[in-house]
Structure 1
């Protein structure tokens, strides 16, 4: 606690030591490489789908920093910028769609330094939403638009995925820990006992005292999800927005997704099908269960990073 707060590293030395300890105490086969795939905090990134005239990738890299200033509320000269080309659905389009990801250099540099201090070499850095989508979506394809909701410890990730790529992301400042804090404050108990009650009862109407405490927070979450869906529909460029714009379903991940009855609750509030994700959708599950069922969703991003690592060719 306190080493990383809301995606910002507060203590690089402690984080490096934690990483070292994790590598040295890992069960099973020991790590055979120093190269690592690193997930960057969604809440500190900014993603925007923008349109530019058709040009080569080299020309795009030169022109994009100037164009991005019109869309990105971050200082471009103090940020790292990358992009993914999105194909238009009109074959005669004279433009390119670009999904632009931007993050402050200070954030990325601090993560790189922490891993280097732990004796590791970051070879790929990507925002958490990319790893989550890779883990949850079979071959990273969907029949229509879906929303991925990652209910994390200190924030909730919101991802719209459509036609083979992420189209929109944001971070919602509502978290699983916020529910625990509310139970602790309301009942006057410590956080450990509050966490036990949250996990045991969740939104079970038979235990109305807990349901009553956490429901207002989850209603706020549902309201913010609605707001971002409306924002996306109103601002997306439909030349790069496939299908009819309808959201087929919402897929939940993260430790908070284990909250009892949360899928039914969100489905009722949002009038959209909601289901728990399967982080092993692109992995052959071993016969031996390495993850307790109640913990699998907490490892969604980590499994997505592992899939990226398995596909990378690292040149020494």
Structure 2
């Protein structure tokens, strides 16, 4: 069944939370190989592959590459030919491999849409007819899909669906780039869906917030009952922390980043100057969290089958390793804040200890979620 404006096919599975936005070249599940999870951001590439050994999952391979500045900006490919050349050199070893690729969170639109009762097979067409009412894209310029929200006692006379959409050109650009370097895109999906798959326990039914604190951007997501209800992205991120330290201590950005990792965001007499330098950026991030908490509190009653109170905040992304960050946020937000565990749905550490340490794992959460996407592991 065609499920996108690009006429690529989707394979829908009953145990999936959010259907994949694009399912390219579907193959029978019994011959479906494990895929390489590929997480491409503005300034880095991270990849991971899992393997099933002795009835448990293990990390088969992983790695990262630094992307030169100017090839991708805010998730949008701005120098397609240069990016292709870069990937040909840096991902040549994976030529011919099947991949699961994340699409940039900055460009994703997520919306709750209410529809009259109708067969599920008619929902896609109904959404296409009214797409511009819910997102700033025409149907012809969008790739979109939906997840049906389970009905509750107050929604027996209508349907609630989570609409997810991306610009068609953006999806085509990423598809063109990875195929041009010899990779076989098996599935594309939004970053948040991959994150949920890796860091949220399968039995997590509470309403939670996820903050992916990266180098060039910070993304927020609210998940209720295992379903994505809200996403947002801001540019305030790790680079701003480095810039603040570089300015105060008159050092280059490389030295500032090292200083940040060594000293952290800990308020002590010896570290007061570093703490004060980082505080404006961290405070701005905290204010974004507060804004989203208030938004959810005001709108959760309209999001059926959801809980009004956010029970906890999960931190992931490389910058979430900043010492003192979780304690500061928890104290100011009056909310439990915990470092995410990207291995929670992969291994219990009883049979296998991954080669990536706990801190480094936080920056691989999306890639691991993409790798876990293989139907052999779901």
Q: TM-score, normalised by structure 1?
A: 0.90
Write the distance in 2 (CA, Å) between the matches of 1:222 and 1:264: 12
1:167 matched to 2:236? The reply is no
Write the distance in 2 (CA, Å) between the matches of 1:32 and 1:105: 25
How do residues 1-16 of structure 1 correspond to structure 2 at under 5 angstroms? 1-2=68-69, 3-16=71-84
1:40 aligned partner? 103
Report the 3-state secondary structure (helix = DSSP H, G, I; strand = E; otherwise coil) of the residue aligned with 1:69.
Answer: helix
1:249 matched to 2:312? The reply is yes
How do residues 111-150 of structure 1 correspond to structure 2 at under 5 angstroms? 111-139=174-202, 141-150=203-212
How do residues 129-278 of structure 1 correspond to structure 2 at under 5 angstroms? 129-139=192-202, 141-206=203-268, 207-238=271-302, 240-243=304-307, 245-278=308-341
Deviation at 1:35, TM superposition (A): 2.0
* Matched residue count: 306
Residue by residue over 1:250-298, the C-alpha shift from the partner in whole angstroms, topping out at 9 and shown as x without a partner, is: 0000001100110011111211100000000111257454213331100
Bigger helix share: 1
Structure 1 outlier segments of 4+, above 6 Å: none
1:28 aligned partner? none
Q: TM-score, normalised by structure 2?
A: 0.76
Write the distance in 2 (CA, Å) between the matches of 1:256 and 1:239: 31
Write the distance in 1 (CA, Å) between the matches of 2:309 and 2:80: 43
Contact 1:36 1:309 in 2 (8 A): no
Change (3 A) 1:82 1:143: closer
Report the 3-state secondary structure (helix = DSSP H, G, I; strand = E; otherwise coil) of the residue aligned with 1:138.
Answer: coil
Q: Which of these residues, 100, 103, 117, is aligned with residue 163 of structure 2?
A: 100
Write the distance in 2 (CA, Å) between the matches of 1:56 and 1:135: 32
Contact 1:90 1:239 in 2 (8 A): no
Q: Which runs of 5+ in 2 are unaligned?
A: 1-67
Deviation at 1:33, TM superposition (A): 5.7
Residue range with higher mean Cα deviation, 104-113 or 84-93: 84-93
Report the 3-state secondary structure (helix = DSSP H, G, I; strand = E; otherwise coil) of the residue aligned with 2:284.
Answer: helix
Deviation at 1:225, TM superposition (A): 1.1
Change (3 A) 1:32 1:19: closer
Residue by residue over 1:45-99, the C-alpha shift from the partner in whole angstroms, topping out at 9 and shown as x without a partner, is: 1111111112123311111022232221233331211111111322761211111
Contact 1:89 1:239 in 2 (8 A): no
Deviation at 1:232, TM superposition (A): 2.4
Q: Which runs of 5+ in 1 are unaligned?
A: 26-30
Deviation at 1:312, TM superposition (A): 8.1
